[in-house]
Chain A
Amino acid sequence: MLMATNSPSASFMRLLGFLLWPAVALLGAAALGGIALNRGESINSLWLIVAALCVYALGYRFYSAFVAAKVLMLDATRATPAERLADGRDFIPTHRWIVFGHHFAAIAGPGPLVGPTLAAQFGYLPGTLWILLGAVLGGCVQDFVILFCSIRRNGRSLGQMARDELGMIGGAAALMGVLAIMIILIAVLGLVVVNAMRHSPWATSTVAATIPIAMLIGLYMRNLRPGRVIEGSLLGFALLVLAVVGGGWIDESAALRTWFDYDGPPLALLVIGYGFVAAVLPVWLLLAPRDYLSTFMKIGTIVALALAIVVLRPEIRMPALTQFIDGSGPVFGGKIFPFVFITIACGAISGFHALIASGTTPKLLANEQDCRFIGYGAMAMESFVAIMAMIAACVLEPGLYFAINSPAGLVGAEPAQAVATISSWGYPVTVEQMAELARQMGETSLFARTGGAPSLAVGMASIFASAFGGQLLALWYHFAIMFEALFILTTVDAGTRVARFMLQDLLGNVVPALGRTSWYPSVILCSALVVLGWGYFLYNGTIDPLGGINSLWPLFGIANQMLAAIALCVATTIIVKSGRAHHAWVTAAPLAWLVIITTTAAWEKLFSPELRVGFIAHANDLAAQIANGSIAGAAVAQTERLIFNDQLDAALTAFFLLVSWIVVIETVRVCLAYLQGRSCPTFTETPYERAQLVD
């Protein structure tokens, strides 16, 4: 860096630089202090935005610079895989902003929108603090370091790096972990969509319309105008808006609306059938065009939401903390520790990102130094999306928020009963208010619409309608639902496909023919197995009286944090083996925190006597109810299924716990072996080659 210039303007700039960062720090501290200490009076959402931006700016400017310079020692003169292996297909040196765009579009999914919405039951403060601190100290660091590790290893994947650096056991555990998380992830996201469509002809018909629209665009981009991505996407966007409006017409027609009016279980079966068809259809027909549409929609809506929040600066109605930090919350059971850290995975730290950061992104970077901007920066931006989701959930009246998000099994299926229960918690809400809200949003009822998507859509609709004018609440609401469903279904398709490849890879070790990814019988068989896997959890989620989200979302959170722990294990091992063990705390500290929270959460999900937390306690309670006859007749069969489901969830939790501890123990073993000079898997960094590309 050139610091020697002494011209007056340079001195002035330096002075400004000296003053800028203390000012950012002060502003950030004031905003954080303001939101943390505020009691009673409602607070403006601008405080959250200011606090968030200051925290990200400080984290980026100072912490990521430290990690880049001292821990990873990024080297701009070192040729990246994109340069060394350039093949015009996978490895393409690409401008940093383009890579940033691709990377952000790949990591930002529905997770950061749903998690904060659910965690808002603790109040806005715990979730917000975790999103900010988790991101700058954990999630951003994870993405950054894994991207760096992959770049120094010819763009190898997380699984390959785990095998190379930790040995066979660590590698196998990582692979199993990824497969399991995929199954749970798809199930829970499917459940979010199903709950948003339940008894809503408007939402169901709009979401259904996205399928033929995607196919049409697929045909357009393949046959009519090959490769014209912008044209195709704009056309698709217009059709999607038409589908939202058209859904309203269907909803008004007494004859048509019955075609799209379904309960949870049949909708789950439809989503499962769809998932299978999407998995075996060629990608150009459904998956690829849907992904183009959802990416455009995602970026556009996120930018619009940010603008709307800044323009409107809505008041936060949710208190900073609610009484539900004691674990009695209706949205999901469990105390603030560890469950706020489990519920908000994406947005604070998400293990899944490590798959992207060791997938396409490292093959595009032209300059190693851009790891910081892309790895750390894109995650900070995703974290900001989570903050906006938190704001959208907290601008609702808390009574409305709880009425939408509490399962009927807990607050009562009758509206009068539900509002009485919720009002008795100190969050007043009336049947009339809920009816009026449902009418405005164009829905028949908004009670017990668990999963986070409907309440987020209500929040977004009210923000959009106020910021951009008009009384089109119902249109905005269904636009938001369509937007969420669009990219959840993209994740369902893409996830099923990836899980299918993994399964084929695994089975190929036993029956070689099954390992051939393009052999149709194997494609059908493995796709069916994967879809049955997530479909099972999805279907049972819809018949669960507690709403399914209650048991599935924590399971997903634990799985995702476990994957993050695996990624941080790989990262820590690599830092230690690079001879900078004294800096290994950069990844070891978030790793330790993740191990603490996932272990505590998994332990509680297994052994807590609290019925809504402990899977085993819940199963035993149901069994006791059958035994003493309080559940009888037709309900017995369904209850037995719930019991089996609890046991399966418990087994899965135990599996996650086991896998993460195996990887942690392997990491400790390998690191100690290295430090003591004993034999351990070798350090696999590719040798230095000087960069020729002029940036």
Chain B
Amino acid sequence: MSARNWWIERAALPLERLKRGLQTSWRTVRELTGDDAYERYLAHHAACHGGELPLDRAAWFKQEQQRKWDGVRRCC
């Protein structure tokens, strides 16, 4: 490896790490908030019920929200 490339790689490394770190955090935030729930549903659907057509985003969200509140979800 030439000296110049070595330096470029050294310089890129923290940036690369930062980028990956930010991506991971963003994914975590989306998962924590349930922002990616529809994507997860699609993945599950494709894996387990491949033959049927999945619900679209709006229909799925409506159904989920109604279902989620049929139990104890919040505490004192």
Residues of A near any B CB (own CB < 8 A): 88-89, 92, 95, 97-98, 101-102, 106-111, 185, 189, 221-223, 226-230, 233, 282-284, 287-288, 291-292, 296, 346, 350, 352-353, 355-356, 359-360, 490-491, 494-495, 497-498, 501, 517, 556, 560
Contacts and interface: CB of A to CB of B under 8 A. Distances in A.
21 contacts: A88-B40, A106-B75, A108-B75, A109-B74, A111-B75, A222-B65, A227-B57, A229-B33, A282-B66, A283-B69, A288-B65, A346-B75, A350-B75, A355-B75, A356-B73, A360-B71, A495-B74, A497-B69, A498-B71, A498-B72, A560-B76
B31 interface: yes
A288 B76 contact: no
A353 B75 contact: yes
Main secondary structure of the interface of A (DSSP, over half): helix
A106 B73 contact: yes
Contacts of B40: 88, 92
Contacts of B65: 222, 283-284, 288
Contacts of A228: 35
Contacts of A229: 33-35, 37
A89 B67 contact: yes
A101 B32 contact: yes
Given A101-B32, A230-B35, A88 B45 contact: yes
Given A227-B57, A284-B66, A356 B72 contact: yes
Interface in B23-63: 28-35, 37-38, 40-41, 44-45, 48, 57-58, 60-62
A229 B64 CA distance: 13
B45 A291 contact: no
Contact of B28 (A97, A185, A494): A97
A397 to B, nearest CB: 29
Contacts of B75: 106-109, 111, 346, 350, 352-353, 355-356, 491
B61 A517 contact: no
Contact of A350 (B28, B29, B76): B76
A112 B68 CA distance: 25
Contacts, number: 106
Given A359-B71, A517-B70, A227 B76 contact: no
Given A283-B65, A284-B65, 15 more contacts: A88-B48, A92-B40, A101-B32, A109-B74, A109-B76, A226-B57, A227-B61, A230-B30, A291-B74, A296-B33, A346-B76, A352-B76, A356-B73, A360-B71, A494-B72
Contacts of B69: 283, 287-288, 494, 497
Contacts of B28: 97-98
B28 to A, nearest CB: 7
A11 B58 CA distance: 57
B41 to A, nearest CB: 6
B71 A227 contact: no
